[in-house]
C-alpha cells in the first residue's frame, strides 16, 4: 500500500520532492520578491471572499483553534 513517504523520497540519486519544491519556491522569491507572494495572497483572499461571502469566514473562524479529527487508514 502506498504511503506518504514519497513526499521526501528520492529516486535514482536525485533530489526529493520536498527539496525540489523548496528550490522552486526560493527561485520564485528571488526572481519576484516577497511582494509577489503578498499580491497573490491578496488576490486569492479577494476571490474567496467574492465566491463564498462573509458566512464562510465566520465558519472557518469558528473552527480556528479546534483540534482536527484524524482518521487512520489500516492496511488491508
Q: How confident is the model at residue 1 (pLDDT cuts 50, 70, 90)?
A: very low
Percent over 70 (pLDDT), the chain: 76
Backbone angles phi, psi at 21, to 5 degrees: -65, -40
Kindly state the cell numbers that stand for 12: 535514482
Enumerate long-range contacts of 30-33, CB under 8 Å, 24 or more apart.
none
Q: Is the pTM of this model over 0.85?
A: no
Q: Please state at what angle helix 17-32 crosses helix 34-52, rounded to 10 degrees.
A: 100
Is 9's pLDDT higher than 60?
A: no
Q: Give the pLDDT score at 12.
A: 64
Does the pLDDT at position 32 exceed 90? yes
Q: How far apart are CA 62 and CA 58, in angstroms?
A: 6
Angstrom distance (rounded) from CA 2 to CA 52: 35
pLDDT at 3 over 60: no
Amino acid at each position: 500500500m502506498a504511503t506518504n513517504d514519497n513526499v521526501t523520497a528520492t529516486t535514482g540519486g536525485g533530489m526529493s520532492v520536498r527539496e525540489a519544491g523548496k528550490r522552486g519556491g526560493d527561485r520564485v522569491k528571488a526572481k519576484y520578491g516577497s511582494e509577489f507572494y503578498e499580491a497573490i495572497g491578496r488576490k486569492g483572499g479577494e476571490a474567496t471572499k467574492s465566491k463564498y461571502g462573509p458566512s464562510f469566514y465566520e465558519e472557518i473562524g469558528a473552527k480556528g483553534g479546534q483540534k482536527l479529527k484524524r482518521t487512520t487508514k489500516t492496511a488491508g
